[in-house]
Chain A
Amino acid sequence: MLVGVLALQGAFAAHELALAECGVQCRQVRVAADLDGIAALVMPGGESTTMSHLLVTSGLFDPLAQSIADGLAVFGTCAGMILLAAEVLDGRADQVSFAAIDITVRRNGYGRQLDSFEADIEVPKLESPFHAVFIRAPKVERLGAAVEVIASHEGVPVLARHGSVFVASFHPELTPDYRLHSLFLQEV
């Protein structure tokens, strides 16, 4: 199986390592041609405004939006979650998103880097807690009825899905624990 990793900017290398540990092949995705033949796509953390800008200038936005509409499985972490959200608060006016999952997220909703943190989160689908790293993380402020919450922290959803679209406000690629990547790949 070939899995794409959006490689416009951000922590794509860490995701590639996690996916390789899960036994799948990876391809960095920067232009539309890179989408050919991928079975799923991971959108990494990084700066969502930068990725939004580059999605437009590279001509990748429209073909990728079409692929997601056609059912491409995607997993967005942190900035990737912002790119997939239906509504983004505290974003730039020209920021684009795929509106692939019906949630409202607030950029940097947990604060600036001083407030970045790590904590164990309970994930009912997993046997033991997952150690999560939150970096200038987006906060989920509204959840559509069709969205399934997979894990919450302090009462706020931090891992959710709708169909084959998965989002996390933290960084599963920053810890050597690939259970959430595996969970995503099982659905592909």
Chain B
Amino acid sequence: MRVRGLVLYDGVMSSPDSPTERVTGTYPVKRGLAEMLKGGVIMDVVNPEQARIAEDAGACAVMALERVPADIRRDGGVARMSDPEMIEGIQAMVSIPVMAKVRIGHFVEAQILEHLGVDFIDESEVLTPADEAHHIDKYKFTIPFVCGATNLGEALRRISEGACMIRSKGEAGTGNIVEAVRHLRSIIGDMKKITQADSAELFEWAKRLQAPLSLVQEIAETGWLPVPMFCAGGIATPADAALAMQLGAEAVFVGSGIFKSDDPSPRARAIVEATTHFRDASILAKVSRSLGAPMTGIGMDEINQRFSERGW
């Protein structure tokens, strides 16, 4: 059964001769965790202390990484998977799910993160790609993956490789929401058009999107991706988070926006409130007060490297 944006069981039922046996790492089990993160805020953290601040503020998960995107952008060089010791330190500090990033195509980094028992892997354009043609075969892993997308074709290619969650790429480390808005509008806009297409036009859509026909047909039926879609890239204020949610994102990732601001803890709390009460202007006005300065942010014409162009 398929309905808009919801987890629906399409896996293999356990065998009749041992019906109560546990089966791990199935697609429904992996996608199930993505469903549990809806309506929440996933915060980038670079050490256990920040992870604690994030959990205290009501984050539904943390993303462990060595440097936030703003610093990766500033420092240049090759950005890689984080040190396992740092990830373990964060796992020991908090009880909420811990995610971590691997380079696009770097399946060995993913094997290491799975061994560490992280709860979700982000195959991320924020790190320097390891493979210029291939993403990871995500079906091979017990741990679910999230991947970024700038448009519907990219989203569907990632889903066909086994991604259990899609996020907009936005432009990480800029504190500028404009690219995430562009990506959300592009993905959702094309899905709306596909629901209006007749069955013959779906072949053309699949060709144009360079995506599997079966996934295009599924969108025509349900109007939505078969996995949750979150927003990432450039969220710096409670209003940014609520904007992403009103546009149709089902949860938000906040990278540099919290720990590059003047006063991270109240800002983190405010973004959590704004994500839950995203349609309630009175609550949004209340939580937006007196948060100190947000991260400075940069305009798209000021940046040399667009992370969102990484991935294929």
Contact = CB atoms under 8 A, between A and B. Distances in A.
Contacts of B117: 112-114
Contact of A114 (B8, B24, B36): B24
A67 B310 CA distance: 51
A157 interface: no
Contacts of B25: 114
Contacts of A66: none
Contact of A115 (B24, B36, B58, B272): B24
Given A45-B36, A174-B32, A136 B97 contact: yes
B38 A46 contact: yes
A30 B245 CA distance: 15
Nearest to B57: A53
Contacts of B120: 113
Nearest to A152: B20
A9 B114 CA distance: 26
Contact of A133 (B29, B39, B272): B29
B96 A119 contact: no
Contacts of A113: 33, 97, 117-120, 143-144
A46 B277 contact: no
Interface in B57-88: 57-61
Interface stretch (B11-19, B104-112, B201-209): B11-19
B26 A118 contact: yes
A174 B39 contact: no
Interface residues of A, number: 52
Interface in B1-50: 1, 3, 5-9, 11, 13-14, 19-26, 28-29, 32-33, 35-40
B142 interface: yes
Nearest to A8: B276
Contacts of A171: 32
Interface residues of B, number: 52
A70 interface: no
B196 to A, nearest CB: 23
Contact residues of B: prevailing secondary structure: loop
Contacts of A141: none
Given A8-B39, A8-B276, A117 B23 contact: yes
Contact of B272 (A54, A92, A136): A54
B76 to A, nearest CB: 33
A148 B33 CA distance: 28
B36 A10 contact: yes
Contacts of A25: none
Given A9-B39, A46-B36, A92-B55, A174 B9 contact: yes
A14 B11 CA distance: 17
Nearest to A94: B56
B40 to A, nearest CB: 5
Report the 5 A-B pairs with minimum CB-CB distance, sorted nearest first: A120-B19, A53-B58, A113-B119, A117-B22, A47-B60
25 contacts: A7-B276, A9-B38, A13-B38, A13-B250, A30-B277, A45-B35, A47-B37, A49-B95, A49-B96, A50-B40, A53-B58, A57-B269, A90-B95, A91-B95, A113-B33, A113-B97, A115-B24, A118-B11, A118-B23, A120-B19, A133-B29, A135-B32, A135-B33, A136-B36, A136-B97
